[in-house]
Amino acid sequence: MARTSTNRQREIESWFHDHEDGEFAVLPAEHPSTVVGDRVVSRTVIYTTKLHCLVQNVEAFSVARPVMMLGRCGLPLPSDLIHLAEFAIDASCHFVGDADPPDVLAFAWLREHVAIGWLGVNDALLNGAQNSENAPTALSMSAAERAAMEVLPVLCPDFRELLGPYCSSVLDRGFKIELETAMMSRRSRLGD
């Protein structure tokens, strides 16, 4: 039996609430998301769990300018959806985050509501770094993140295609790749 969008959305929300450990963060609605830019003039809207990193590295992503960024750690807020659903007609919407279960599930939750693409850490972003001395450092997953690997295929069935074979294999081994380390690795490879 196929899961409906509403069921998948609720299961993702439940997972965050039941496994809140700092990685699966559920910030209160009183703690609003941060908006950088203007969605009225933006040609690209990016939702990110790592705004501090993205602001400094947005040039690493081949997206149309100007860019509006919406940043929040953990589970997105329903009130964030207005920023992702109402923007210029020719604009595109993307997610940028870590190659880890919390960010993949945050992306899957957003995708249940709006048309959004994955620009987060994946094999394409690493651009061959996995085979070099500049490969980003993989960090150990928390217990909740390791447990989430069992539900990722159900709640985000295409997560392996989003991440690519290398990043997927990192997750399968109980590790994750943070956006910050992917950006440092990228700069190192490019000689910045």
pLDDT digits (tens, 9 = 90+) for 49-62: 999 999 999 999 99
Are 65 and 44 in contact by the 8 Å Cβ rule? The answer is: yes
Mean pLDDT of 19-30: 93
Residue 165, C-beta contacts closer than 8 angstroms, at least 6 positions apart: 123
> For the chain, what is the mean pLDDT?
90
Beta bridge partners of 84: none
pLDDT of 84 above 90 = no
Higher confidence at residue 16 or residue 126? 16
> Any idea which of 56-60, 70-74, 144-148 has the lowest mean pLDDT?
56-60
pLDDT of 189 above 60 = no
pTM of the predicted protein model: 0.92
pLDDT of 190 above 80 = no
Whole-angstrom distance, CA of residue 39 vs CA of residue 28: 24
Burial tier of 11 (Cβ tally within 10 Å: 0-12, 13-18, 19+): middle
Which CA distances in Å does 18 have to 8, 25, 103, 144, 186?
A: 15, 10, 16, 10, 35
Whole-angstrom distance, CA of residue 83 vs CA of residue 68: 9
Residue 38, C-beta contacts closer than 8 angstroms, at least 6 positions apart: 66, 68
Helices (H) and strands (E) in the chain, counts: 10, 7
What's the pLDDT tens digit per position in 155-185?
A: 999 999 999 999 999 999 999 999 999 998 7
Higher confidence at residue 27 or residue 133? 27
The closest of 178, 183, 161 to 49, measured between CA atoms, is: 178
Structure tokens at 61: 């992503």
Whole-angstrom distance, CA of residue 89 vs CA of residue 186: 32
